[in-house]
Amino acid sequence: LCTFLLFLLFSFLLKPETAAVLKRTLEALMERGAVVRNLENLGERSLPYKISKHKERHRRGGYFLVDFEGPPSIVSTMMDHLGRDIDVIRRAFLKHPGSKTEECSGIIPVNYEDKLIAKKK
């Protein structure tokens, strides 16, 4: 297994529709053997330039990062799958350099307040 980051740019959607797109994307990853480790919403904002995709012009979009582990073969099948999704404007997979998978020893509690304080510095 390899560790990947999936960058997603969705068309500008309302919250329930965005949740539905994320749900079907994550389900597709898990159906192909991926283990999703983290999902990060980078927010909605104006695009740096107009993007035409699926016969529409987009000016705003929602940015997301998905951190997951999976077989290397997952990249090509997910690129095809996401390319057909009308709500996905852009997608990109990045492999974590030098990443190695470790045996999971269980859920480790995370103190989110410490994470927020650390980012502000």
Q: What is the pLDDT of residue 103?
A: 55
pLDDT digits (tens, 9 = 90+) for 10-33: 888 788 888 899 999 999 999 999
- The pTM (predicted TM-score) of the whole model is 0.73
Q: 102, 4 in Cβ contact below 8 A?
A: no
Residue burial 16-45, b: 16+ Cβ < 10 Å; e: rest? eebeebbeebbebbeeeebebeeeeeeeee
Q: Which range is least confidently modeled, 5-9, 23-27, 80-84, 105-109?
A: 105-109
Token pair listed for 77: 């099948």
Q: What kind and span of H or E run contains 80?
A: helix 74-84
**DSSP state, 33?**
T
Fold type of domain 2-98: Alpha-Beta Plaits (3.30.70)
pLDDT digits (tens, 9 = 90+) for 30-78: 999 999 999 999 989 998 889 888 788 888 999 999 999 999 999 999 9
Q: Which residue from 80, 88, 92 is spatially nearest to 11, judged by alpha carbons?
A: 88
